[in-house]
């Protein structure tokens, strides 16, 4: 892999930022300041960071309740995210969406959904809109392996291919839907083959290689932007923490700790850290810590929403 130094630096910074934010979230969580269930992306940061590094600000992304990584990778405000999780008035959704519904209109983060698979067709609609408006925007749609079992997945793929929509589908396959392994849910694991039958170019990255992801996603996004129609990437990754909550869950019996070792052994953040200069690393790390501390402080200071906020936004004006 011959990625430019600047790319490696950006990917390191993006992944490290998300990793540290989520570690901080896990650390704060027992204090009960976070008024929202948290689904951490620790171990799965690479896909969001690698894809978003190839997107323009005007491009759209759509993700799921495990959405911190995507929201931050696309440029969403950390202050607004932490305030949202604290249920405060300055939150991304004014405290009404929480961790599972992160949104940023300014950064073109279509709000995340907690109903698995729903965002696949929503983002297909955003891609249709971009095509109709001739805006040149690409939409990147993220979802997990469980979502591919929803009818909306197949329906959306078919429609996106039929209409040649400017959309990149990214399946972050972490092998579990809540606690159920792939083997008890899929008749075969040939997901890319299934997708390819719609006439959609499907790429498999099964070694958690963030640089490969960056390159493949970049080339796909270029083709999509030029009118080549939708593409699909299946990216294998591993969720290090429990499905929901701040802790590890290897003691619960549904997956062995040994299973995670091959992933931690090739942790892409550690890999990237080894590829950059120590001075750069220190500079980036220090800035991240300051940014996180400022965001937590901001969220603590942000006022609770006033009661009448309950009734706002039921309908748009």
Partner 1 sequence: MSMQIEQHMDQGNRVVTYVNAIREALAQEMSVDPSVFVFGLDVDDHKGIQGSTLGLVDEFGPERVFSTPLSEDAMTGVAIGAAMTGMRPVHVHIRMDFLMLAMNQLVNMAAKTHYMFGGAYKVPLVVRSMIGKSWGQGAQHSQGLQAMFAHVPGLKVVAPSNAYDVKGCLIEAIRDNNPVIFVEHRLLYFTDAYVPEESYTVPFGKARVHGEGGDVTLVGISNMVAECLRAREILTEAGIRCEVIDPISLKPLDFETIAASAKRTKRVIIVDNAWVDFGASAEIAARIAETDELGGVKVRRMGYAPTTCPTTPWLEKEFYPNPATIAERAFALVKPDAAPLQVMPELMELAYQAQFRGPF
Q: Give residues in contact with partner 1 (CB under 8 A).
A: 60, 62, 91-97, 101, 103-105, 110-111, 113, 115, 118, 120-130, 132-133, 151-152, 155-156, 158-159, 162, 312-317
Q: Supply the minimum distance, in Å, between the C-beta of residue 31 and partner 1.
A: 24
Give the C-alpha separation, 155 to 121, whole Å. 8
CB of 85 to partner 1, least distance (A): 13
| H helical segments located in the chain | 5-28, 45-52, 68-73, 78-85, 118-133, 151-162, 191-196, 210-225, 257-265, 268-273, 278-301
Please state the closest distance from residue 222 (CB atom) to partner 1, in A: 22
* Buried b or exposed e, range 230-251, using 16+ CB within 10 angstroms: bbbbbbbbbbbbbbeebeebee
Q: By C-beta, is 43 or 166 nearer to partner 1?
A: 166
Distance, in Å, from the CA atom of 76 to the CA atom of 295, rounded to the nearest integer, reads 12
Helix (H) and strand (E) counts for the chain? 11, 8
Task: List Cβ neighbours of 9 (8 Å cut-off, separation of 6 or more).
Answer: 276, 280, 284
CA angle 175, 166, 222 (to 5 degrees): 90
Q: 48 or 62: whose CB is closer to partner 1?
A: 62
Give 37 or 218: the residue with its C-beta nearer to partner 1: 37
Cα–Cα dist 250/152, whole Å:
32
| Count of residues in the chain | 317
> Cβ 110 to partner 1, closest distance in Å?
6
Residue with smaller CB distance to partner 1, 126 or 177: 126
**CA dihedral (116, 86, 55, 285) positive or negative:** negative
Rounded CA gap, 243 and 38, in Å? 9
Output the smallest distance, CB 156 to partner 1, in A: 5
**Shortest Cβ 163–partner 1 spacing (Å):** 9
Contact 138, 58 (CB under 8 A): no
Closest CB 7 distance from partner 1, rounded Å? 29
Q: Cβ of residue 17: shortest distance to partner 1, in angstroms? A: 22
Residue nearer to partner 1 on the CB measure, 93 or 275: 93
* Residue 287 vs residues 21, 168, 202, 290: alpha-carbon distances, Å: 12, 31, 37, 5
Minimum distance from CB of 239 to partner 1 (Å)?
24
Nearer CB in complex with partner 1: 110/269: 110
- Measured from the CB atom, is 35 or 101 closer to partner 1? 101
Helix (H, G, I), strand (E, B) or coil at 119: helix
Tokens of 257: 């700790």
Distance CA 39, CA 290 (A): 24
Nearer to partner 1, 134 or 274 (CB): 134
36 is written with which tokens? 């929202």
């Amino acid at each position: 892999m011959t990625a430019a130094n600047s790319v490696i630096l950006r990917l390191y910074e993006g992944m490290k930022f998300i990793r540290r934010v989520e570690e901080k979230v896990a650390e704060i969580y027992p204090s009960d300041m976070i008024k929202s269930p948290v689904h951490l992306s620790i171990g799965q940061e690479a896909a969001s960071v690698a894809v978003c590094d190839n997107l323009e600000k005007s491009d759209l992304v759509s993700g799921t309740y495990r959405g911190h990584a995507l929201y931050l990778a696309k440029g969403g405000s950390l202050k607004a995210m932490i305030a949202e999780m604290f249920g405060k008035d300055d939150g991304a959704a004014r405290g009404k969406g929480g961790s599972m519904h992160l949104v940023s209109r300014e950064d073109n983060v279509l709000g995340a959904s907690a109903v698995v698979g729903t965002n696949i067709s929503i983002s297909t609609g955003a891609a249709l809109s971009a095509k109709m408006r001739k805006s040149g925007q690409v939409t990147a749609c993220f979802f997990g392996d469980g979502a591919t079992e929803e009818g909306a997945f197949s329906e959306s793929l078919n429609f996106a291919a039929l209409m040649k929509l400017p959309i990149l589908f990214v399946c972050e396959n972490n092998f579990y839907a809540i606690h159920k392994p792939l083997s008890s849910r899929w008749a075969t694991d040939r997901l890319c083959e299934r997708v390819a039958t719609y006439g959609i170019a499907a790429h498999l990255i099964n070694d958690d290689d963030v640089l490969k992801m960056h390159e493949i996603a970049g080339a796909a996004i270029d083709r999509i932007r030029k009118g080549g129609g939708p593409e699909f990437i299946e990216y294998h990754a591993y969720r290090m923490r429990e499905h929901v909550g701040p802790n590890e869950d290897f003691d619960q019996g549904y997956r062995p700790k040994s299973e995670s070792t091959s992933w931690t052994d090739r942790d892409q953040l550690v890999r990237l850290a080894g590829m950059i200069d120590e001075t750069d690393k220190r500079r980036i790390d220090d800035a991240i810590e300051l940014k996180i501390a400022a965001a937590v402080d901001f969220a603590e200071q942000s006022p609770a929403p006033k009661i009448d906020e309950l009734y706002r936004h039921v309908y748009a004006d």
